[in-house]
C-alpha cells in the first residue's frame, strides 16, 4: 500500500545547515527528493497552486534519470538536529543593538494597537487541521528547542536566533496546514512554485518595522509584563526608558513601595482576605493592641516614661524656660509619655498646660488633663501612640476635714496602654514636722477612696483588692508633695549639707521620716524609690539657692518624691532620679524621674480613646513656638544691623 507521508533527507553538514537557517532559507533542496510511490508531478503542481502565497520558493532541479525507473527503497531517517550553541554570539550582538521603544510606541502597545500580536500557538489553534497530527512534520520541527529569551531584564526581547527560527517554523506549519485542509497529497517541497520567493527576514533587531514572523508569544515574560502595565496608572510607565513606578505589577513591588514611599510596612492583599476569628485575642494577627503592633513600635517591649512633681506655691509667675524641667540634658532622647503633677498650682491652669505643650513641641499631644482644686495633672504622649491608649479615667480624694477646701488631697488618673494598665497619683499630704500620723491617714484614705478603674476592665482582676486601688493596676506611680521631713532639727541637717566636697546623701536619708515608715510597712506598701543623689527640694528662698532664711527656719527636707510599684517584679526600671535646681520661682524644686516600663500586648475589646487629644491646646502651643522663633530671628537681625564698624 502506498505511503501517505514523505520525508526529507538532508545530506548537508550541520554547520552548512545552520548557516542557511540563519539566512531565512530552508535546507538544501538540490539533493534528490525521493517521492513515494503513487505520486505524480501533476499532483505536486496542483498542490503548489493551492498555496499561491507560499513564503518559500524552491526551484526544482530537472532530473536526468529515467522517470520510469524504480526508486531505490529508502528508510526514513530524522534529519540531523542543528547545533544551537553557535548562535549565542549573534544573540548577544542582537541584544546589545536592540532599541527601546519611545513613549508613543509604548502607549500604542498598552492600548492594544500593536501589530505584532498573536503567536505560534494562536496560528496553530486557528487552523482546522490542528486537531490531528500534522502530516509530513519531521521530528526536527517537533523537537526543536523553544526560542531563547533574555533573562537579564524585565523588558527584554526575543533574540536574533529566536526570530529566524520562529519565522521558519511558522512558515512551514502554514504550508502544511493548507495542504492538509485542501485534501491534497502529503507535502512535497521539491515541487513548490519557483515564482514565489521567500520574504526577506530583517536581521536588524533595532528595526521598528513589523515583521511577519516576529509575533509576540503570550508565554513570553516580556509580553506578560507589558500586559500587566495596563493595570497600573497611566503615568507609571510611559516608556521603558523611564524609571518604573514601584506600584507596577512586578515581583519587587512590595520592596519598592517599602523603600520609596513610606516607612509603614506594606499590607498584602492575601493577609486582608484571610479571616481571623480570634477577635480580641492576643493571638489575632493584625490586632490594634496585639503583639505584632507592639513589636512594631517597641521591639524591646519597653516604653520611656517621664514622671515629675512640683509644688508651685501658687505663684502666678511661671519660669521663662521649662527645658531644664521637661528636657533634661542627661537624656539623649525624649520620652514616650510625660506625666506632670502639680501641687498648689498657678491660678491660670490653661496657661500652664500651654507652656508644657509649647516646650514639648508638635511631636506630643495632651492625652488627658485633670484637676482637683489646685492639684493638676497633665499627660502628654507622642502623637504616634494615641491610637493604643484606652479611655482615660480619673478620680479625686479630699483629705481635709472641710471638703470644700481642696488644697490637700489626691488626684488619680488611669488608662491602659496596649495590654498594660497604668495608674498615676499625685498627692499633697498634711504639712508639719511632727504630723506623721496625719500623713499616714491621708495615704489610707487615698487608696480606699480612689474609684478606679471604672469602664476600662482590670487586666488582672484575680490579684486586685477592693480596699487598695494600687492593686488594681499593673504599673503604679505615686508622686507629689508628701511633706515628710528630715528629723533631727535644722542644725543637724545643715551640718550634713555643709560637708565637702559633696554631701553624704545616704547619711542624710537616715533621718528621713518617709524612708523610716516605708521600712516599717505602714505606708506605700509594695512601692519602691530610686536612689536619691540630689539635695533636699524644700524649702528655698524664692529666686535663690539658700534654704529658708525666715524666722521660721524650716528644716530642709525631701518632701517631693516619686515612688513606683509593679505587679510584676522588674517591669519598672529607673533610669534617672533628680531635681531641677535652675527653676527658682517656688520654695520647692521640681523633682522628676526617668523610667523604662515593660509593656505587654493587649486585647481589642477595651474602650479606646480613639485618638482623642486637646487639639486647641496643640495649635496654641505650635503658634507660640513659631512666634518666639520669629522674634528670636528678628532680634538677631537687629543686633547685626546695629553693629557699627569704625576704622581708626
**Would you say the C-alpha torsion 633, 638, 639, 641 has a positive or negative sign?**
positive
* Cα-based distances in Å from 591 to 282, 496, 530: 38, 21, 12
Greatest mean pLDDT among 47-56, 283-292, 342-351 lies in 342-351
* 466-479 exposure pattern, b = at least 16 Cβ within 10 A, e = fewer: eeebbbbbbbbbbb
**CA–CA gap between residue 254 and residue 266 (Å, rounded):** 7
Q: What cell does 157 get?
A: 526581547
Listed range (215-224, 443-452, 493-502) with the worst mean pLDDT: 215-224
**CA–CA gap between residue 416 and residue 452 (Å, rounded):** 12
With CA atoms as reference, report the closest residue to 541 among 482, 586, 511, 489: 586
Q: Say what the pLDDT of residue 477 is.
A: 98
With CA atoms as reference, report the closest residue to 334 among 345, 325, 321, 347: 325
For 49-97, what is each residue's pLDDT tens digit? Answer: 444 444 444 444 444 445 444 455 566 676 666 555 444 444 445 545 5
Listed range (76-85, 211-220, 422-431) with the worst mean pLDDT: 211-220
- Residue 1 reports pLDDT greater than 70: no
Helix, strand, coil percentages (3-state) for the chain, rounded to 5, are 30, 15, 55
Q: Judge whether 190 and 33 are in contact, CB under 8 Å.
A: yes
Q: Say what the pLDDT of residue 56 is.
A: 44
Q: Judge whether 441 and 398 are in contact, CB under 8 Å.
A: no
Q: Judge whether 524 and 563 are in contact, CB under 8 Å.
A: yes
- List Cβ neighbours of 409 (8 Å cut-off, separation of 6 or more): 372, 373, 375, 396, 397, 398, 399, 400, 427, 428, 446
Q: What is the dihedral of CA 359, 364, 369, 375, to 10 degrees?
A: -40
- The alpha-helical segments, DSSP class H, found in 36-159 are 41-49, 88-96, 103-110, 120-126, 139-142
Q: Say what the pLDDT of residue 268 is.
A: 79
Gyration radius of the chain's alpha carbons: 45
**CA–CA gap between residue 627 and residue 313 (Å, rounded):** 29
Q: Judge whether 591 and 561 are in contact, CB under 8 Å.
A: yes
Q: Judge whether 164 and 201 are in contact, CB under 8 Å.
A: yes
Q: Three-state SS for 427? A: strand
Q: Judge whether 212 and 158 are in contact, CB under 8 Å.
A: no
**Would you say the C-alpha torsion 205, 207, 212, 214 has a positive or negative sign?**
positive
Peptide bond between residue 393 and the one before it cis (omega within 30 degrees of 0) = no
Tally Cβ neighbours within 10 Å of residue 315.
15
Listed range (240-249, 295-304, 321-330, 403-412) with the worst mean pLDDT: 240-249
Mean pLDDT rounded to a whole number for the chain: 74
**CA–CA gap between residue 255 and residue 247 (Å, rounded):** 10
Confidence of residue 139 (pLDDT cuts 50, 70, 90): very low
C-beta pairs of 446-451 under 8 Å, 24+ apart in sequence = 446/397, 446/399, 446/409, 446/410, 446/412, 449/395, 449/397, 450/395, 450/397, 450/410, 450/412, 450/425, 451/395
Q: What is the mean pLDDT of residues 454-469?
A: 92
Three-class SS of 181-248: HHCCCCCCHHHCCCCCCCCCCCCCCCCCCCCCCCCCCCCCHHHHHHHHHHHCCCCCCCCCCCCCCCCC
Q: What is the mean pLDDT of residues 271-279?
A: 63
**CA–CA gap between residue 380 and residue 353 (Å, rounded):** 10
- List Cβ neighbours of 631 (8 Å cut-off, separation of 6 or more): none
Q: What cell does 350 get?
A: 490653661
- Residue 21 reports pLDDT greater than 90: no
Q: Judge whether 418 and 600 are in contact, CB under 8 Å.
A: yes
With CA atoms as reference, report the closest residue to 416 among 396, 391, 451, 447: 391
∠ CA(323), CA(327), CA(331), 5° rounding? 150
**CA–CA gap between residue 561 and residue 93 (Å, rounded):** 81
Count of residues for the chain?
648
Confidence of residue 567 (pLDDT cuts 50, 70, 90): very high
Q: Which helix (H) or strand (E) holds 311?
A: strand 302-311
Report CA 152 to chain centroid distance, whole Å. 29
Q: What is the dihedral of CA 87, 92, 96, 98, to 10 degrees?
A: 50
Q: Three-state SS for 148? A: coil
* DSSP 8-state assignment for residue 123: H
* DSSP 8-state assignment for residue 119: -
Q: What is the mean pLDDT of residues 538-558?
A: 94
Tally Cβ neighbours within 10 Å of residue 381.
25
Q: Say what the pLDDT of residue 177 is.
A: 52
For 87-137, what is each residue's pLDDT tens digit? Answer: 444 444 554 555 556 656 655 665 565 444 444 444 444 444 444 444 444
Q: Judge whether 41 and 60 are in contact, CB under 8 Å.
A: no
Confidence of residue 365 (pLDDT cuts 50, 70, 90): very high
* 277-311 exposure pattern, b = at least 16 Cβ within 10 A, e = fewer: eeeeeeebeebebbbebbeeebeebbbbbbbbbbb
**CA–CA gap between residue 484 and residue 439 (Å, rounded):** 8
**CA–CA gap between residue 115 and residue 210 (Å, rounded):** 7
For 25-39, what is each residue's pLDDT tens digit? Answer: 444 444 444 444 444
Listed range (329-333, 383-387, 417-421) with the worst mean pLDDT: 329-333
* DSSP 8-state assignment for residue 550: S
**CA–CA gap between residue 509 and residue 536 (Å, rounded):** 10
- Residue 419 reports pLDDT greater than 70: yes
**CA–CA gap between residue 339 and residue 353 (Å, rounded):** 12
Q: Say what the pLDDT of residue 224 is.
A: 53
Report CA 265 to chain centroid distance, whole Å. 2
With CA atoms as reference, report the closest residue to 256 among 154, 110, 373: 154
**Would you say the C-alpha torsion 476, 482, 488, 494 has a positive or negative sign?**
positive
pTM (global) more than 0.75: no
Amino acid at each position: 500500500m502506498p505511503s501517505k507521508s514523505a520525508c526529507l533527507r538532508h545530506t548537508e553538514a550541520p554547520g552548512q545547515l545552520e548557516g542557511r537557517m540563519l539566512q531565512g532559507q530552508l535546507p538544501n533542496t538540490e539533493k534528490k527528493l525521493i517521492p513515494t510511490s503513487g505520486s505524480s508531478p501533476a499532483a505536486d503542481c496542483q498542490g503548489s497552486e493551492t498555496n499561491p502565497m507560499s513564503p518559500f520558493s524552491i526551484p526544482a532541479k530537472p532530473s536526468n534519470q529515467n522517470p520510469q525507473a524504480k526508486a531505490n527503497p529508502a528508510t526514513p531517517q530524522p534529519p540531523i538536529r542543528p547545533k544551537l550553541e553557535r548562535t549565542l554570539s549573534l544573540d548577544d550582538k542582537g541584544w546589545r543593538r536592540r532599541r527601546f521603544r519611545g513613549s508613543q510606541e509604548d502607549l500604542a502597545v498598552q492600548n492594544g494597537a500593536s501589530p505584532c500580536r498573536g503567536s505560534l500557538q494562536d496560528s496553530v489553534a486557528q487552523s482546522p487541521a490542528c486537531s490531528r497530527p500534522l502530516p509530513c512534520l519531521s521530528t526536527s520541527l517537533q523537537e526543536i528547542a523553544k526560542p531563547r529569551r533574555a533573562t537579564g531584564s524585565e523588558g527584554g526581547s526575543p533574540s536574533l536566533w529566536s526570530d529566524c527560527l520562529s519565522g521558519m517554523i511558522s512558515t512551514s506549519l502554514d504550508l502544511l496546514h493548507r495542504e492538509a485542509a485542501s485534501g491534497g497529497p502529503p507535502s512535497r517541497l521539491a515541487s513548490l512554485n519557483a515564482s514565489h520567493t521567500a520574504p526577506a527576514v530583517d536581521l536588524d533587531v533595532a528595526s521598528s518595522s513589523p515583521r511577519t514572523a516576529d509575533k509576540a508569544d503570550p508565554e513570553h515574560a516580556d509580553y506578560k509584563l507589558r500586559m500587566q502595565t495596563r493595570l497600573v496608572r497611566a503615568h507609571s510607565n510611559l516608556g521603558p526608558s523611564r524609571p518604573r513606578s514601584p506600584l507596577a505589577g512586578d515581583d519587587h513591588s512590595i520592596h519598592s513601595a517599602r523603600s520609596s514611599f513610606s516607612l509603614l510596612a506594606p499590607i498584602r492583599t492575601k493577609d486582608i482576605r484571610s479571616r481571623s476569628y480570634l477577635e480580641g485575642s492576643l493571638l489575632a494577627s493584625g490586632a490594634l493592641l496585639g503583639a505584632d503592633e507592639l513589636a512594631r513600635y517597641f521591639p524591646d517591649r519597653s516604653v520611656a516614661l517621664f514622671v515629675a512633681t512640683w509644688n508651685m506655691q501658687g505663684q502666678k509667675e511661671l519660669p521663662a524656660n521649662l527645658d531644664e524641667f521637661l528636657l533634661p540634658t542627661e537624656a539623649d532622647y525624649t520620652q514616650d509619655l510625660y506625666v506632670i503633677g502639680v501641687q498648689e498650682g498657678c491660678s491660670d491652669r490653661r496657661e500652664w498646660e500651654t507652656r508644657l505643650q509649647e516646650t514639648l513641641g508638635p511631636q506630643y499631644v495632651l492625652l488627658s488633663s485633670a484637676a482637683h482644686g489646685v492639684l493638676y495633672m497633665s499627660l502628654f504622649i507622642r502623637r504616634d501612640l494615641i491610637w493604643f491608649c484606652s479611655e482615660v479615667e480619673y478620680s479625686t480624694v479630699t483629705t481635709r476635714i472641710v471638703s470644700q477646701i481642696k488644697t490637700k488631697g489626691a488626684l488619680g488618673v488611669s488608662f491602659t496602654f496596649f495590654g498594660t494598665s497604668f495608674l498615676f497619683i499625685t498627692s499633697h499630704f498634711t504639712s508639719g514636722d511632727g504630723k506623721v500620723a496625719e500623713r499616714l491617714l491621708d495615704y489610707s484614705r487615698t487608696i480606699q477612696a480612689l474609684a478606679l478603674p471604672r469602664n476600662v476592665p482590670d487586666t488582672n482582676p484575680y490579684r486586685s483588692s477592693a480596699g487598695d486601688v494600687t492593686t488594681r493596676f499593673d504599673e503604679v506611680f505615686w508622686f507629689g508633695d508628701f511633706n515628710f521631713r528630715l528629723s533631727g532639727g535644722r542644725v543637724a541637717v545643715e551640718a550634713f549639707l555643709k560637708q565637702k566636697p559633696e554631701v553624704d546623701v545616704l547619711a542624710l536619708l537616715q533621718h528621713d521620716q518617709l524612708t523610716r515608715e516605708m521600712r516599717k510597712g505602714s505606708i506605700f506598701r509594695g512601692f519602691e524609690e530610686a536612689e536619691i543623689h540630689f539635695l533636699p527640694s524644700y524649702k528655698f528662698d524664692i529666686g535663690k539657692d539658700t534654704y529658708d532664711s525666715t524666722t521660721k527656719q524650716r528644716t530642709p527636707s525631701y518632701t517631693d518624691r516619686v515612688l513606683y510599684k509593679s505587679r510584676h517584679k522588674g517591669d519598672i526600671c529607673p533610669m534617672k532620679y533628680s531635681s531641677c535646681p535652675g527653676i527658682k520661682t517656688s520654695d520647692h524644686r521640681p523633682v522628676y524621674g526617668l523610667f523604662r516600663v515593660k509593656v505587654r500586648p493587649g486585647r481589642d475589646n477595651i474602650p479606646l480613646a480613639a485618638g482623642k487629644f486637646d487639639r486647641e491646646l496643640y495649635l496654641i502651643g505650635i503658634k507660640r513656638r513659631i512666634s518666639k522663633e520669629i522674634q528670636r530671628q528678628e532680634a538677631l537681625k537687629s543686633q547685626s544691623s546695629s553693629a557699627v564698624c569704625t576704622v581708626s
